[in-house]
Structure 1
Amino acid sequence: MGEADPDEVDESPVSAMQTANRREDFGGRRPGEYTHWIEEQLSWKETCYLGDWTFLANLRLTGPDALELLSDVSINSFDDYAVGAGKHLVQVNEDGDVVADGVLVREGEEEFVIHGVPSYWTAYHLEKGDYDADTEWRDTFNFQIQGPNSLKVLDEVAGEAPRDVDFMHFGYIEIAGHDVRAVRFGMSGEIGFELQGPGEAGEDVWNAILEAGQEYGIRRLSVKTSAINQLESGIPTRIRDYVSAILHDDMAEYRDWLREHMHRDLITHPLEGSFDSDDITDWYRDPVELGWDWYVDEDDDFIGSEALKEKQANPERTLVTLEWADEDVKTVYDSLFETDDTYKYMDMPHQQKRAMVADRVVKDGEDVGVATMRGYTYYFRKMLSLAVVDTEYAEPGTEVTVLWGEGENRRSPTVERHVQKEVQATVAETPYKKDRRRANLQEEDD
């Protein structure tokens, strides 16, 4: 079955998404695999990688009311937001559930660039509201170079890496004759930059970096293993860890607007796993449980601010990393070679179909959370997942059980061939990998 749109089929959003079967093709430089996913995974710990996020929407927002608009539609505080700085931009609906998250940079007093899904929520409210601002959808490249050797590669290709740029700030360098904005940001938990510039320069810049990086062990990052970045770093992502909170009835107008303006499908994607519900909002997440509510200025009045304040006052769940028991994981693979029922296959290194695989997390027979984004990290030789769990079970070392396999509401001839498996898991530190993104770049070569 192709992609399912809950507004165009005679079934609920939950049913439409549970029966969807779509592998999203981002195009560009994001194939299934380049060299080997293990080699690619090790790159951001041992050498460096070059990855392509050009598929993200890019919106330039300008005008006297641009900052006011951003403040009205985002949870972030914009106090002391300086030109040359970036933000992880988070936006919620009136119920305080996450609609979108992405990256914002401030180019000038009245000039901003938004990367990712927040572009649409912002543009939608500009069109609906009374703001003195303008938008421009742009064709740009967006590459990441991450890992301990990333500075050496930039020294080689740009004359000198921008070592004076602080975390979540940006500077400018020249690569292959093109001006490139270097934003000190990334999802690998390592030092590195996002490199941004006009789309027509992308091929030149990509090739120049790749050539300069050969002697430093650079690897191209494929879609097959790129999500292990976020898993090791404890960074939840749309689709893999939460459903954009736009699928209930109150958001129908926004969905109609999206269909006219979106550059790729942002509405539906498959739902899988042992977690079941008839209510699509049970796959939504809020900034409190995802660990993003510290962005909020208590004095701000933004869309969803009242609902979010209530969630902050009474937090129920929090984001953790789960370390899955080796023996239980091995049993899942062993079952493929037995004559009895098999367990659901654990795709390596993570789910290759772009889907939200949500599995029940249980303690003493009671549901205490939902696990998402299961993946294997070769560096640590562990199967991990992110999860939101009841706050009382979030302490590292807490033992829980993940119910691996499909729920009763998602059955097919293939699914009927396997049975669910209880996998023991332990709450671990989050992020699982030490975060080095804020390291002093002036000392990196010492």
Structure 2
Amino acid sequence: MDHTVSGMRTAPEGYAWSRFGQPEYTDWLDESLSWKNTCYIGDWSFLWQHRITGPDALTMLGDITVNSFANFQIGQSKHAIHTNKDGKVIHEGILTRFGDEEFMLHGRGGFWVDHYLKQTDYDAKVERDDWFILQVSGPGAVQVLERVSGQSHLRDTRFMWVNTVNIAGYEVWALRQGMAGEIGFELQGPMAAKQEVYDAIVEAGQEFGIRKLGARTTMINHLEACFPTIATDYIPAIFDEDMAGYRKVFTASMPAFAQPAYIAGSYDGAEISEYYRSPVELGWARNINFDHDFLGRAALEAEKAAPRRVMRTLVWNGDDVVDVFASLFAQGEHYPFMDMPRDQRGFMWADKVTVGGTVVGVATSRGYSYYYRQMLSLCPIDVAHSEPGTEVTVHWGAPGGPQKEIRATVAPAPYKPDRRRADLHQA
């Protein structure tokens, strides 16, 4: 396959830096330990927000979302997933209900919701908004937020519910979430207040060892905690002919660094659809509920009942990884550079995974975990080869170029124990 879906072999320069701030603040090794030992503050304000309002808003959302809204209460959040007719993910993001007829959706999915609404007669409205999103996550997250706010009620917040907290004179929404797989809150509020809130948290967090999270290590927490990401672990299912109208609107709305389909790696798909993924393949089967009709329901009913692939972590053999770096110090052809801790150019690096020469999965999100001292990747893999401990081979390289066969072992996903739901009163 031609890996230049958007007409470019690589993503534009500065992709990751422009989204997440500076590459490093202390250094990426130190910062990557923060969500296990202390806590970090990270900036996700680049995400797009769409406010969805109106009497028919909830019904309309149900048409295109795999999640159940049967008991969606005010103050509750969901990881909302939108799929196409074949059950492949178009977009996904966090949806919060702020009122009977008011919702906020973070991520690219708002564009799809708006496009769908324009094709219907629902009494609803979708509007762009401008919020900051700051994550504070790690064992010390609650203590830092208590210190900066002088309030202790955040400990009563249920997982995936919002609370309010006063920081630097601003009332801020605090969503208990934890994208690092640890105790964590996502702070949300008007963009004009962002810097004051950020600075106040950093100052209050000094005694607790808080770290500013730089771009080099930001996505390592997604890897360890298994949070697959658009354009990194899957290509959004918007390149089929029936999505041409939406794709034109969507790409026109995106800045250059956020275009959706740059692909590299040894997996050489014949069609762009081979890089689509279903919620089942991405490990989100639990989010799918068949108590309502939605786009892609029939396909997902069949797949959830008998999945072909499931999400796992691969642990790459260290000696084989070292050979990749060693090739740069020898004459002749060498293997493609393996950036540390992971590729920073912001495209989907998809490597084929084989057993006995047969492709059984696709490795993505390859990254080095300093905490575990291991090279890891996520991998939707055939169920028959998904048992933890199974030996597989990852092919590192480009189609038609030098490729290194790297031994790897199947492990659970998430790889790091999930502590997001820990009792905050014991933290």
TM-score of the aligned structures, taking structure 1 as reference length: 0.92
Q: Secondary structure at the match of 1:68?
A: helix
Post-superposition Cα deviations, 1:311-365, rounded to whole Å, max 9, x if no partner, equal 2233111110000001101111111112242222110000111010101101011
Selected match of 2:120 from 117, 129, 147: 129
Deviation at 1:95, TM superposition (A): 1.3
| Counterpart-to-counterpart distance in 1, 2:205 and 2:27 | 17
Structure 1 unmatched ranges of 5 or more: 1-10, 409-415
Deviation at 1:73, TM superposition (A): 1.2
The residue number in structure 2 matching 1:411 is none
| Counterpart-to-counterpart distance in 2, 1:25 and 1:327 | 29
The 8 Å contact of residues 17 and 269 in structure 1, kept in 2 or not, is answered as: no
| Counterpart-to-counterpart distance in 2, 1:206 and 1:82 | 29
Residues 1:45 and 2:36 aligned together = yes
The 8 Å contact of residues 264 and 348 in structure 2, kept in 1 or not, is answered as: yes
Percent of residue pairs bearing the same amino acid type? 46
The residue number in structure 2 matching 1:364 is 356
| Counterpart-to-counterpart distance in 1, 2:403 and 2:3 | 24
After superposition, the Cα gap between the structure-2 partners of 1:61 and 1:402, relative to the gap in structure 1 and judged at 3 Å, is: same
The residue number in structure 2 matching 1:22 is 12
Post-superposition Cα deviations, 1:176-209, rounded to whole Å, max 9, x if no partner, equal 0001000001310110100000010011101100
| Counterpart-to-counterpart distance in 1, 2:259 and 2:42 | 25
The residue number in structure 2 matching 1:56 is 47
The residue number in structure 1 matching 2:283 is 291
| Counterpart-to-counterpart distance in 2, 1:28 and 1:96 | 29
After superposition, the Cα gap between the structure-2 partners of 1:320 and 1:34, relative to the gap in structure 1 and judged at 3 Å, is: same
Residue pairs, 1:344-423, within 5 angstroms: 344-408=336-400, 419-423=402-406
Deviation at 1:267, TM superposition (A): 4.0
TM-score of the aligned structures, taking structure 2 as reference length: 0.96
- State the AA in 2 paired with 1:52: D
The residue number in structure 2 matching 1:336 is 328
Selected match of 1:69 from 60, 64, 73: 60
The 8 Å contact of residues 48 and 217 in structure 1, kept in 2 or not, is answered as: yes
The residue number in structure 1 matching 2:223 is 231
| Counterpart-to-counterpart distance in 2, 1:26 and 1:297 | 37
Residue pairs, 1:151-190, within 5 angstroms: 151-161=142-152, 162-190=154-182
Deviation at 1:109, TM superposition (A): 1.2
Instruction: Name the stretch that deviates more: 254-263 or 30-39.
Output: 254-263
Q: Secondary structure at the match of 2:327?
A: helix
- State the AA in 1 paired with 2:320: D
Q: Secondary structure at the match of 2:142?
A: helix
Residues 1:443 and 2:426 aligned together = yes
The 8 Å contact of residues 14 and 279 in structure 1, kept in 2 or not, is answered as: no
The residue number in structure 2 matching 1:425 is 408
- State the AA in 2 paired with 1:44: W
| Counterpart-to-counterpart distance in 2, 1:196 and 1:211 | 19
Structure 2 unmatched ranges of 5 or more: none
| Counterpart-to-counterpart distance in 2, 1:434 and 1:131 | 43
Two-structure CA RMSD over aligned residues (Å): 1.7
| Counterpart-to-counterpart distance in 1, 2:57 and 2:322 | 53
Deviation at 1:99, TM superposition (A): 0.5
The 8 Å contact of residues 13 and 247 in structure 1, kept in 2 or not, is answered as: no
